[in-house]
Structures are given as C-alpha cells and as structure tokens.
Amino acid sequence: MSTLPTTLRRREFLAAVALVGTGTALLPRSLASVETGRDRLGKILPTRPLGRSGVPVTAFCVGGHHLELRRTPAESQVLIEKALEVGCRFFDNAKSYSDGEAERRYGEFLSPKYRDLVQIMTKTGATTAQEARKDLDDAIRRMKCDYLDLWQIHHLSSPEDAETRVNNGVLDVFLEAKQSGKARHIGFTGHSNYQAHLRMLELLKERGVELDACQMPMNLCDPHHESFIEHVLPVLVERQYGVLAMKTLAYGTMVGQSGFGRIPFANPPTRSGITVRQMHEFVYSLPVASLVSGCTTVAELEENAGVLREFKGMDGRERKRLLSLSAPHAGAELETYKSPPGRA
C-alpha cells in the first residue's frame, strides 16, 4: 500500500506514542485542548478542532447507542440532559442504533431545546447511493435537524467493503451532502479491520478528495493487536483528519466486561492496576479531536467528563509504562470486534 506518510513512519509514530516526553508533545498546537468558557447551560468541556476544518468540538463526545439502548424515553432524557449539564456539546448517533430509535430520542430530547448549542453526528451503513440519500433525509427528519454537523460512512469492515461503497456511489452522496449543506462535515468509521481504513484513504486519494473525520478504535491494548493507532493514525495526522477515538474500553473488556456489560472478561488490564482514568488519559494524549464514549449511567457521564476536565497531559515514561502493562492482556479475546487483515 502507498498510504504511509513520508514524514512520519508507522513504527516511528508508535515509538513516539511510547516515548514522547510531555503530555501534549504528540499533539500539533492546533489540537491541544482549549477551555471554552460557558454558554447558557453552564461550563463547556475543553474542546479540540475537528482536523483541518478547525471547528471546535468538545473532546468528549457522548455515544448515542447507550443513551437509548434498553432505556425508556424518560431515562434517555435524563442521560441527555446530564451530558449537557457536565459540559458535553458533541453527540454521536447512527441509523443502526435500534433502527433509528436512538436518532428519534435526539429529535425528542436534544434538538428541540438545545440544537443551537450542540453538534450532532450520525452515521449510515448504506452500501448504495439510493440507500445513503434516504438515510440522510430520514436522519435529519428523525433528529429534527435542518442539517448534520457530521455525517459518516459507518463501519467499513474490509478493503472490499470500502471499494463496494465507493463504486456504488455512497461517497458521491456524501460529497453532495456536504456541498448542499445537509452535512457540514463528512467522514468514515470502522472497527473491524485497519486495512479497510487504509483502503478508503487510498480511494479518496485516487479521487483527489478528502473527508473531514475518521472514527476508529483507540485504546491501550490496540497497539499490541491489529493496530489502528500504529497503521492508520499516522496517515490521518499527515492528512489533517479530525480523529475520533472509540472503544477506549473495548466494549467493556478493558474493565472485565464485554458487549455492553453482559459477558465477563477474565483477563482485563485492570488486573494489572490500570484504571479507567488512565485508559482515557492515554487516548487523550494522542492526536484525537474527540473521544466517543457510551455512558449508561449519570455517574459514568460525570466520571468521563471529570477525566477530561482534569487531564493535564501524560509524559512519555507513564505512556510507556501503561503500554507495557497492557501488553499481556491484549489480543483477539479482548478486542473481539477486530478481524484479521483481509477478512471482514
């Protein structure tokens, strides 16, 4: 593949992740967190720019699936309003989250009162242009938005999947959505196979276009197994994408659970003394615009917001120590959502 940047090789980048001497040295100056003050709801969490767009987003983004999954509308409302109270202004969603029900909850509890304060993203797994256009219009209707702040091609699972969607016109619909103003920014996501991301970036380069954002797994165990941080992050940094981290706790396996807390995991990194705070701080020390995290309780929202507010950086010795501690816990059993290269 020809996606390696000439100025930042993958192994050199991974070494820098482990060894850099100050907590913000990996971050270009424009990506450092900024305290943004207040709005009519209170104090806002620190922000970072969404890549080359320069648009500030809160560096903690609330995952939309957890705000709705197995919850009554009233329970979703409590979590949405708590997220706003702790200062989050960036909200994730996707059509696949309960077949649009999570989007409908935003249309009921988020957009009507708070649209002027928040940035909303959603995603589509569409594989054809016709399906993508319908999903965009349906999402805007369900969430009662005139436009999306970020719309993303959802869950690229393999290089072949990336090729299929581009060849079937999905990319064209996304570019049209941005040009028309229905989506202010556009991007793509995936968690199965880092080669899918690299292939998508190649296809974009061949077309002579760039998207604005990319979302992918980023956690302390990722560098040890089929790594998005090692293989994809350097390319995204070189091409000035807004990087969105997800699966910082790897579906809960990092803390001994899995699949939204349903299945115990026997060998979590917490056994080596790594805390949830350290897991999040490691990711915040990387060149990410925002960390997308699903929260199931008010306490989790408060905890996640508190980590960001109190984050002062992570020095190289601590980063290296945590990576070393996490190594024995890494692998396919922990990151169950990943598949080997070349296989969806």
SS (H, E, C) 4-66: CCCCCCHHHHHHHHHHCCCCCCCCCHHHCCECCCEECCEECCCEEECHHHCCEEECEEECHHH
Report the candidate in 210, 204, 127, 203 with the shortest Cα–Cα distance to residue 165. 127
Residues of the domain holding 275: 10-329
pLDDT at 342 > cutoff 60? no
pLDDT at 82 > cutoff 80? yes
Instruction: Give the rounded distance of the alpha carbon of 61 from its chain centre.
Output: 8
Q: Which of 11-15, 34-38, 96-100, 196-200 comes out lowest in average pLDDT?
A: 11-15
pLDDT > 90 in the chain, percent: 83
CATH number, domain at 83? Answer: 3.20.20.100
Q: Is residue 298 part of a domain?
A: yes
- With cut-offs at 50, 70 and 90, classify the pLDDT of residue 258: confident
pLDDT > 70 in the chain, percent: 89
Give the pLDDT confidence score for residue 85 in this predicted structure.
98
Q: Is residue 4 part of a domain?
A: no
Q: Is residue 339 part of a domain?
A: no
Q: Is residue 88 part of a domain?
A: yes
- With cut-offs at 50, 70 and 90, classify the pLDDT of residue 190: very high
Place of tokens 């969105």: 244
pLDDT at 28 > cutoff 90? no
pLDDT at 121 > cutoff 70? yes
Q: What is the pLDDT of residues 266-304, one digit of tens each?
A: 999 999 999 999 999 999 999 999 999 999 999 999 999
Evaluated on CA atoms 158, 164, 167, 170, the torsion sign reads: negative
165 by Cβ neighbours in 10 Å (0-12 / 13-18 / 19+) ranks as buried
- With cut-offs at 50, 70 and 90, classify the pLDDT of residue 16: low
Give the pLDDT confidence score for residue 4 in this predicted structure.
41
Q: Is residue 138 part of a domain?
A: yes
Q: Is residue 342 part of a domain?
A: no
Contact call for residues 294 and 50 (beta carbons, < 8 A): no
Give the pLDDT confidence score for residue 250 in this predicted structure.
95
Instruction: Give the predicted TM-score (pTM) of the model.
Output: 0.93
Instruction: Give the rounded distance of the alpha carbon of 338 from its chain centre.
Output: 16
pLDDT at 7 > cutoff 50? no
pLDDT at 34 > cutoff 90? no
**Number of separate domains in the chain:** 1
Give the pLDDT confidence score for residue 6 in this predicted structure.
42
Give the pLDDT confidence score for residue 263 in this predicted structure.
79
Report the candidate in 115, 57, 28 with the shortest Cα–Cα distance to residue 46. 57
Q: What mean pLDDT is predicted for residues 191-207?
A: 97
Give the pLDDT confidence score for residue 32 in this predicted structure.
74
Contact call for residues 197 and 214 (beta carbons, < 8 A): yes
Give the pLDDT confidence score for residue 39 in this predicted structure.
95
Q: What mean pLDDT is predicted for residues 215-238?
A: 97
Contact call for residues 181 and 131 (beta carbons, < 8 A): no
Residue 228's CB: how many other CB atoms inside 10 A?
A: 27
- With cut-offs at 50, 70 and 90, classify the pLDDT of residue 254: very high
SS3 191: coil
Q: What is the pLDDT of residues 122-151, one digit of tens each?
A: 999 999 999 999 999 999 999 999 999 999
Give the pLDDT confidence score for residue 10 in this predicted structure.
52
- With cut-offs at 50, 70 and 90, classify the pLDDT of residue 18: low
Q: Which long-range contacts (CB under 8 A, 24 or more apart) does 114-117 make?
A: 114/41, 114/84, 115/144, 115/145, 117/39, 117/40, 117/41, 117/84, 117/89
Q: Is residue 336 part of a domain?
A: no
179 by Cβ neighbours in 10 Å (0-12 / 13-18 / 19+) ranks as exposed
Q: Is residue 200 part of a domain?
A: yes
